[in-house]
Amino acid sequence: MFDPAAFRNLQSGRRHGLSASLLRGLLHVFAWPYAAVIQWRNRRYDRGAARVYRIDMPVVSVGNITLGGTGKTPLVGWLARWFLAQGMQPAVISRGYGSKPGQPNDEAVELKRLLPNVPHLQNPDRVAAARRAIAEFGVDAIVLDDGFQHRRIARHLDIVLLDALEPFGFQHLFPRGMLRESLDGLRRADVVAISRADLVTPSERETIWRTVERYAPQAIRVELAHRPQRLRSALGCESTLEILRDRPIAAFCGIGNPAGFRRTVESLGGRLVGFCEFPDHHRFESAQLDRLAAWASTLGAEAVLCTGKDLAKLTTERLGNCPLWAVEIELDFLAGRDEFEGRLHKLLANRYSNL
């Protein structure tokens, strides 16, 4: 089975030795054709050779420069609620990565729970999805989830999230590192937001900003924290975080950047006795859940935690004798909120004349 933790250790350089160095060299060679394709594609859009579709309403994109999770879903939810608060009807549009034909993926299930009054359309052809959102739901704002590299739809605000724990994809393009495109791509960003900024020191945040300054000096700077608020079961029952205090807990996740979730779990006041990582968008089979239950029991855990995305794919409230909880997260602005919201208000003020 693919081990995402081992692969990250290899990419990051944390794995040492001759074999690791040779493997990284091989991954570097594999990154060349990927880099060539990405560069060719971006140049087509930059020169106007590739068609860009314009939609006569505010379009805001939330995306990454790296592969893996940077905490896009909480920000997408915040933006959708912000538009609702302005008396507008937004829609969320995403590719639907990891979904089965005709079925929503884990992110769609989670967003439906968080935003029951906001249509969420998943389609690799996001132009078609936008047209459907307008025709069927009468929306007047669109939030593109994971849209930074999807350049077929013109956007009026491009937001790039950098995870404070792994901001620049180990400085290499995939598969040698986790960059989706070179850092030059940040030049397209209107807003750069550091997610999980509270998990690193002020000096580490400043180091990230110095790199951003080289590529996107014009971008608005935002710093975000993902605050754990409560626990939720698969059937919607809720509990306070206090029930975990001083108790042995185990945790697992199938998300892009498990380090962020691990740090969140470690902050909850329990004793983390085991942590298991799975690939992003992992689907859990019943036999695997049985193994997780046995694992948690062997560790002496009294509760098992996962993310909301993971719980969206599960129906059980327990793993063996342990209650299974998702950690509910809410977004908190540490810096840059006023300027960010000012830009959004300006976008709305101009929407009839300059879109």
173 shares its domain with 210: yes
Residue 156 pLDDT: 96
Answer whether residue 196 is part of any domain.
Answer: yes
pLDDT tens per residue across span 71-104? 899 999 999 999 999 999 999 999 877 666 667 7
140 shares its domain with 244: no
204 shares its domain with 78: yes
168 shares its domain with 96: yes
108 shares its domain with 216: yes
Answer whether residue 274 is part of any domain.
Answer: yes
222 shares its domain with 262: no
Answer whether residue 25 is part of any domain.
Answer: no
* Domain region containing 156: 59-226+332-349
Output the pTM of the full model. Answer: 0.92
209: CATH? 3.40.50.300
213 shares its domain with 275: no
Answer whether residue 11 is part of any domain.
Answer: no
Angle, CA 153 vertex, CA 147 and CA 154 arms, to 5°: 100
Q: What are the backbone dihedrals phi and psi of residue 233, each rounded to the nearest 5 degrees, phi first?
A: -95, 170
247 shares its domain with 197: no
18/291 Cα distance (integer angstroms): 34
Per-residue pLDDT tens digits of the chain, which is 355 residues long: 567 778 888 888 889 999 989 999 999 999 999 999 999 999 999 999 999 999 999 999 999 999 877 889 999 999 999 999 999 999 999 987 766 666 777 788 888 888 999 999 999 999 999 999 999 999 999 999 999 999 999 999 999 999 999 999 999 999 999 999 999 999 999 999 999 999 999 999 999 999 999 999 999 999 999 999 999 999 999 999 999 999 999 999 998 888 889 999 999 999 999 999 998 888 899 999 999 999 999 999 999 999 999 998 899 999 999 999 999 999 999 999 999 999 999 999 887 555 4
249/62 Cα distance (integer angstroms): 33
Task: Kindly give, in sequence order, each residue whose CB lies less than 8 Å from that of residue 255, ignoring residues fewer than 6 positions away.
Answer: 68, 69, 261, 280, 307, 309, 310
184 shares its domain with 258: no
167 shares its domain with 285: no
Residue 245 pLDDT: 97
pLDDT tens per residue across span 309-322? 999 889 999 999 99
312 shares its domain with 340: no
How many domains is the chain built from?
A: 2
Residue 3 pLDDT: 75
Answer whether residue 7 is part of any domain.
Answer: no
Answer whether residue 63 is part of any domain.
Answer: yes
Task: Print the SS3 string covering the chain.
Answer: CCCHHHHHHHHHCCCCCHHHHHHHHHHHHHHHHHHHHHHHHHHHHHCCCCCCECCCCCEEEEEECECCCCCHHHHHHHHHHHHHHCCCCEEEEECCCCCCCCCCCHHHHHHHHHCCCCCEEECCCHHHHHHHHHHHHCCCEEEEECCCCCCCECCCEEEEEEECCCCCHHHCECCCCCECCCHHHHHHCCEEEEECHHHCCHHHHHHHHHHHHHHCCCCEEEEEEEEEEEEECCCCCEECHHHHCCCEEEEEECCCCHHHHHHHHHCCCCEEEEEEECCCCCCCCHHHHHHHHHHHHHHCCCEEEECHHHHCCCCCCEECCEEEEEEEEEEEEEECHHHHHHHHHHHHHCCCCCC
234: CATH? 3.40.50
Answer whether residue 102 is part of any domain.
Answer: yes
176 shares its domain with 265: no
C-alpha distances (whole Å) from 280 to each of 98, 241, 294, 347 are: 9, 25, 23, 34
